[in-house]
Amino acid sequence: LQARLAEAWGLSDTSHPEFPRQVPAAEPTEMAAPPDPIAYDRDQWRRKLKRILDKLPDTEAEWNPMLAEGRALGLDEPWMLRAQIEEFALLVRRVIADREFTPQEHRKLELARQLIGMPEAEAEAMLKSIIAEAEAFFGESVKGA
């Protein structure tokens, strides 16, 4: 209560001198803390992930360096795994968008699943769900599914 009263009367030293009673002064410990990874780093890493998945199997050798880069940027493992699973689902959608599922595309998805470390049953359930959604949307079956 005393601090709020002092702030209201302009007697507190926690206000910024240029903006009295509006902005508290920054804490030196907060200013010294390293910044969290910014959205730009996450976006760039996610783009790299998408490119690597799209170009599999040719980009398989880039997988581990990409994961190491994410860790070096300070991206946390749970976020990176969620991003990989989300991109896998988007890859499935791109693969079946032409309503044809070729053996080469089957191999690409299997390799992506293995690299991500996704359980086979989880990937299969996701694939079936997305194919069913696509078939309902297009009104025809996906060849090779």
pLDDT tens digits, one per residue of 23-65: 556 666 666 666 665 888 999 999 999 999 999 999 999 999 9
Phi, psi of 23 (to 5 degrees): -125, 120
| Crossing angle of helices 77-96 and 39-54, rounded to 10° | 40
pLDDT of 72 strictly over 70: yes
Q: What pLDDT, on the 0 to 100 scale, is given for residue 113?
A: 98
Residue 106 burial (CB < 10 Å; 0-12/13-18/19+)? middle
Long-range contact set of residues 65-72: C-beta below 8 Å, sequence gap at least 24: 69/45, 70/45
What pLDDT is attached to residue 95?
Answer: 95
pTM passes above 0.75: no
- The domain locations on the chain are 2-32, 39-138
